[in-house]
Amino acid sequence: MKRITENRSIRRIVQALALMAAVLLGWMGAPSGATAQDPAVFYIGGAALAAVVPGFLFDTPQPDAGQAYLKTSLGRFDAMDQENMALDFLVEYQPGLTWHRIKPLFGVAGNSDGTIYGWVSIAHDFHLAERLVVNVNTGPAMYIAGEEGKELGSSGALRSGFEIGYRFYAGARVTGSFHHMSHGKLLNHDLNPGTEVIALNVSWPIG
C-alpha cells in the first residue's frame, strides 16, 4: 500500500512538472510582435497554472469525470484586437472519458462574418468548490476565414483557453470563457495576428 501511494505521488509530481513546462514553453514561444496575443498568453498560462497544477498535485475531486456534455456558446470574436469583431456561435461535445484527469473535446464554431473553425482539444476540470469549476483546454484547430473574416495567416492554428462558472446540482454548467487562437508564426512568418473569443456558455449533461 505504501509503494502504491508513493507511486501515485511521484506520478502526480511528474505530471504537474510536465504541465508547468508546457505552459512555460508556450509563453516563451509567444510571438513578440503581437498586440493582443501577449496578454492572452499570460491570461491562459496563469489560468492553467492556477487550475491544472493544484488539481494534479492534490488530486481534487472530479464529480463529472464520467459525464458527457454538450456545450453551446454565444460570444464576441476578435474581442481584444477589435479589428474584425463578429458574433461567434459554438457547439462542443465532451465525451464522458477521463484519463489521468485529462478529457477530450470536439468542437465547431462559426461567426457572423462567415468564418468557420473546428478543433480537437484536451481539457482539465478543477473544482474550486462543489459548485464552482474551472476548465482549461488546448488543442489544434482548423480555421477557414469568411469573405469579410479575419485572416490568421494559416488554416492551421492552436486554440487555447479557459472557462470558469457555476455547476448546478444536476450537472449542468453556466460559464464564461476566454480563448486565444493563432499559429505562433510556425506556419506563416509574415502574418500571425491571432484572435480572441470571449463567450457565455451553457453545458448540458447527456447520456
pLDDT tens per residue across span 133-186: 999 999 999 999 999 999 999 999 999 999 999 999 999 999 999 999 999 888
pLDDT tens per residue across span 114-130: 999 999 999 999 998 88
Domains within the chain, CATH numbers bracketed: 61-206 (2.40.160.20)
Alpha helix ranges (H) inside the chain: 2-28, 37-58
